Amino acid sequence: MSVTLKVNGKSHTVDVEPSTPLLYILRNDLGLQGPRFGCGLGQCGACTVIINGVATRSCITPASSVKSEITTLEGIANQGKLHPLQQAWIDEQAPQCGFCQNGQIMTAKALLDKNPKPTDAQIREAMNRTLCRCMTYYRIQAAIKRAVKVVAADHAATEQEVVA
Amino acid sequence: MKTLTNTPKPVEAAKRTPTRRDLFKNAGWLVVGFAAAGTSPLTRLANAQSPAAPTGPYPDVDFHQLDSWIVIRPDNSATFYVGKTDCGQGTGTSFRQLMSDELDIAYDKTTCVMGTTDITVDQGGSGGSTAMERDSMPMRRVAAEARRVLLDMGSTQLGVPVDQLAVADGVITVKGDPSKSVTYGQLIGGKRFNVTLTGNNSNATAGKAKIKPLEELKNTGLSPNRYDIPAKVDGSLKWAVDVKLPGMVHARNVKPPVVGAKLVSIDESSVKSLPGFVKVVTKGNYVAVVCEREEQAINAARMLKVNWEKPATSPFPSSENLFKYMRDVPTTSSAKPIVVGDPDTAFPAAAKVIEADYDIPFQGHTAISPAHALADPSNGQMTIYSNDMKSYGMRIGVAAFLGIPKEKVRVVWMEGPQGYGRTAAEDAGCEAAYIANELGRPVRVQWMRNEETAWDTKAPAFAVSMKGGLDAAGNLVALDYNARAADYNHVGYNEADTVLIAQLMGIRRAKPSAGSAATPGEVYAIPHRRMTAHVVSLPVVWETPLRTGNLRDPNGPQSTFASESFIDELAAAAKADPYEFRMKLLTGTTDDDRGFHRARSIAVLKAAADAYGWDRRPSPKARGTGEILTGRGMAYAFRGQTIAGEIVEVEVNRRTGHVWVKRVVCAHDCGLVVNPQSLRHTVECAMLHSISRALYEEVQFDTEKVTSVDWVSHPTLTHADTPASIEVILVNGDPNPKRSDLAPYGAGEASCKPMLAAIANAIFDATGVRLRRIPLRAPRVLAALKSAQV
């Protein structure tokens, strides 16, 4: 049996059982290191990828059910430039061990893609099911707010250029 | 505050892009795959090994050789090889700051390699928050020694005495004639120092040079960004979970469904025809299934039919009955009581005596990723890829478990989920090694979530009884602390006879660990006191998921919850402000031998109160009328020489019982601060870890098995619970704050201690209800509020 997946712009055909959870294919067949196993139950978020704009838990997503492109942590930088969230994560020095941060960043990206200016409450709500056992939540929320500001400032600058 | 902005290219880059170059021969053994750390061709320069005849490819790295610690390249860059691991606090960055200062090389021109047993000297990995306090000292001394040797070489090269030379950023110049210069890289780049150091153990390592006085350190005290973070946010870091080797297979454990069950038989036909099936590996009560692919192993472990025989008796009481059991059962061992004055006479003479019991349940590491390890048995050696914070200990433990010389074993430390103490990473290492040895193939073992939450080592449950006596003026004149910890047969680090696989195979050490129960870390001047610490035992102590092991400040949060909650109870009984009550106890005397703690405890508590804006009044405050009741509470403790004082503001929802820790202030004195930013984040996250332990974490069980098996049955702090404000104040309360030899003290654990009590004290302030049983989940809080008619 084989499954064809489009991941970060490239198509891959993998010879696996169609019910195989997406996570193991991304990690073990495609060699991706962003999504990671944390619970296998869809409870912690360490395995998060984005499909159709939705932060999706790849550990409980059968590979055969995926019909759209998959974006992983490796795929959100733009031509070598880190995504504003990734940069904000560095600027805020958000991680401790860093193991969960894939899920944190990808969940935050799905949020900002839908809602570029979330309130504090919306950030807490959207991020609430993405767990961190080093408890870096405070820094993560600061990093998200920083990224929101940076993106807004970039947009403002771009608009000014257009006007000029 | 100066900041260093350039994040140098981390040496970890080598970890994530293994190439042919990374295959290297080591003492004649081809190491399959790639070496995870320090894989440049110069690695072997730093791999100066003990002269003793090796019995395997991985002799101990010789800490007496300067080349084992520092390599300088022709381009005037340096790599530091240290025997430490990082649990996510950024210790590697701090080591680079200190070592580049002592060596006088630009920080940006340095890299750090950590914790791989055949490449870096054995400094024990991590543990006890000793990274800065103890282990950075030999690093500073060897870097200073390298500087001394290089200046000698520069003197010869430039033809002027050393005292006429200046050095900065790895460039030696003649004073008054900067045109005459030579770089470190020119002097020694790519060559060995061949300098022998002294010292009886790795942490006593020293050369002839002395370390610098603090005034001369340039990078120390700044906050360069952690070098390990970029690769953690762009997906490029190769973690221990990411290593793949040719021919590797995947194993999953099958644990007894009931604690103490005996394996009767395995029906291998239940999995034999499953795709990718390789083997069932079993001995005693240990069972694992091996398959070609990971998801196949997960499935096969679920499908395997095993016939277990239930034990005749229960291994433990249920978690609901735990504390009654702990208080009723005869003690297993007791520390000698610490007695001050004459408490037996003082209590009857006291004007007011109060008593209270505090209960703290078993709590787990419950790392975000379950335990894992990859073992490679090729060519008669054994390599383990692991995130275990004690990689050196794992090497010894695996060698002993397999019965092979330690020189045949190496542990490649790689990043992994936080592991603050003795985690199941150690068990997984031995399991992977055992199965790999059986199969002759590389084997990756990964525990599942239910295994991790149920079977990882636990912080011991505590049942503490407190008694205090006040005189007529409200002075605390007598205090009794009596703790019972369920800690018998505490599992140590990398003990071949206590790792879980050994236990399940029926191995028993003759004399199990006695365990321990802590006494509180405070210096209150109380004329009469007794502190007693007992260990009690559960009915079953082998092959049990309630095995105890070190978890971040192993007994501190438990003992401090009781002692600092009770100080608050006494303050309330004396109708005194909790801050003033504590300060009176701290300033009551100065004539004890712990004055160094005392002055700094006073400084920390004062700094916390000032930053919070503490209003002096007794608790509880007049109760509010709305749905949300707010209150504030404080607690303080020391761990080693580090002092932490914490104040929180909580919101208690009287309708739901939900508690939100809205604001946190921590004053923290750990002596010399190497990297303020990393320190603040470490303290911040340690406090949040304790908020999670205070509000949510409890390992629950019935009389057969642990029932906390995932993030629903074992909740943890989440984004929604995160405080709105966290403030960490770095205090230097040293009586001589500007001294040149101010020492760094451990920072990874002290701030875990006071938080549980600070929260309970704040809930009392808000509601007038005293909660003495952790965790403070909403139903428990609500029940207490209701019974007090709040």
Lowest mean pLDDT among B4-8, B552-556, B768-772: B4-8
Q: Can you tell me the distance from the alpha carbon of B205 to that of B143, in angstroms, rounded to the nearest whole number?
A: 11
Q: Does A47 or B737 have the greater pLDDT score?
A: A47
Smallest CA–CA distance, residue B660 to chain A, in Å, is 13
- CB-CB contact of B619 with B764 (8 Å): yes
Res B598 pLDDT > 70: yes
Distance from CA of B289 to the nearest CA of A (A): 18
pLDDT tens for A57-113 read 999 999 999 999 999 999 999 999 999 999 999 999 999 999 999 999 999 999 999
One-letter amino acid of B339: V
What DSSP string runs through B490-515? ---TT-TTTSHHHHHTT---SS----
Show residues of chain A in contact with B239, CB under 8 Å: 33, 36, 99
The answer, for B236 touching chain A at a CB cutoff of 8 Å, is: yes
Mean pLDDT of B68-75: 97
Separation in Å, CA A30 to CA B128, B346, B617: 39, 72, 62
CA atoms of B781 and B652, how far apart (whole Å)? 9
Measured between beta carbons, which residues in chain A are less than 8 angstroms from residue B661? none
**Alpha-carbon span B35 to B33, nearest angstrom:** 7
The pLDDT, as a whole number, for residue B32 is 34
Which neighbouring-strand residues pair with B476?
B470
> B143-180, pLDDT tens digit by residue?
999 999 999 999 999 999 999 999 999 999 999 999 99
Sign of the C-alpha dihedral, residues B122, B127, B128, B130?
Answer: positive
pLDDT of the residue at A160:
74
Other Cβ atoms closer than 10 A to B246: 10
Out of A43, A82, A139, the one facing B710 most closely (by C-beta) is A43
Any idea what the Cα angle at residue B181 is, between residues B180 and B186, rounded to 5°?
140
- The CA distance from A23 to the nearest CA of chain B, in Å, is 10
Alpha-carbon distances, residue B414 vs A115, B1, B35, B88, B770 (angstroms): 37, 33, 11, 12, 45
Q: Mapped to the 3 state alphabet, what secondary structure does chain A carry?
A: CCEEEEECCEEEEECCCCCCEHHHHHHHHCCCCCCCCCCCCCCCCCCEEEECCEEEEHHHCEHHHCCCCEECHHHCCECCECCHHHHHHHHCCCCCCCCCHHHHHHHHHHHHHHCCCCCHHHHHHHHCCCCCCCCCHHHHHHHHHHHHHHHHHHHHHHHHHHHC
Compute the residue count for chain B. 790
**Mean pLDDT over all residues of chain B?**
93
- Residues from chain B contacting residue A128 (CB–CB below 8 Å): 718-720
Which chain A residue has the Cα nearest residue B89? A96
Q: What is the pLDDT of residues B427-478, one digit of tens each?
A: 999 999 999 999 999 999 999 999 999 999 999 999 999 999 999 999 999 9
Q: For residue B9, what pLDDT is reported?
A: 35
* Mean local confidence (pLDDT), B505-519: 94
Q: What is the pLDDT of residues B403-415, one digit of tens each?
A: 999 999 999 999 9
**A96 contacts on B by Cβ (under 8 Å):** 87-89, 418, 681-682, 685
pLDDT in tens, B295-327: 999 999 999 999 999 999 999 999 999 999 999
Select the residue of B88, B236, B448 nearest A96 (Cβ to Cβ).
Answer: B88
A102 contacts in chain B (CB < 8 Å): 235
Q: Are A33 and B88 inside 8 Å of each other by CB?
A: no
For residue B417, what is the DSSP state? S
pLDDT of residue B46 exceeding 90: no
What is the β-pairing status of strands B352-360 and B462-470? antiparallel
Q: In B363-499, at which residue ranges do the beta strands (DSSP E only) sit?
A: 363-364, 372-376, 382-386, 409-413, 443-446, 458-459, 462-470, 476-486
A-chain residues near B720 (CB < 8 A): 124-125, 128
What is the spatial order of strands in the sheet that B110-114 belongs to?
A: B70-72, B78-82, B110-114
Residue for token pair 């064809």: A4
- With cut-offs at 50, 70 and 90, classify the pLDDT of residue A20: very high
pLDDT of residue B19: 30
Measure Cα distances from B778 to A102, B101, B656, B658 in Å.
30, 50, 6, 5
Nearest 5°: phi and psi at A23? -55, -45
Closest C-alpha to B537, from B321, B330, B324: B330
Give B595's pLDDT tier (boundaries 50, 70, 90): low
Residue of A nearest to B414 (CA): A97
Average pLDDT over residues B730-739: 92
Tokens of B407: 């020189």
Looking at beta carbons, which residues of chain B come within 8 Å of A38?
368-370, 449
Provide the pLDDT for residue B532. 97
For B685, which residue in chain A has the nearest alpha carbon?
A135
pTM over 0.90: yes
Residue A155 to chain B, least CA–CA distance (Å): 23
Amino acid at B658: H
From its phi and psi, is residue A76 left (phi > 0), alpha (psi between -120 and 50) or beta? alpha
Size of interface A-B (CB pairs under 8 A): 169
Contact B241 A37 (CB under 8 A): yes
Residue with tokens 């004053």: B667
Please answer yes or no on whether A98 and B228 come within 8 Å at the CB atom: yes
ipTM for the complex shown: 0.97
Which of A31, A90, A137 has its CB closest to that of B233?
Answer: A90
- Around Cβ B196, how many Cβ atoms within 10 Å? 12
**pLDDT grade for B55, boundaries at 50, 70 and 90:** confident
B449 touches A at CB < 8 Å: yes
Instruction: Decide if B368 and A38 are in contact by the 8 Å CB cutoff.
Output: yes
CA atoms of B143 and B207, how far apart (whole Å):
9
Count CA atoms within 13 Å of residue B645 on its CB side.
28
Chain A residue with CA closest to B692: the answer is A135
The reply to whether residue A98 touches residue B295, judged by beta carbons under 8 angstroms, is no
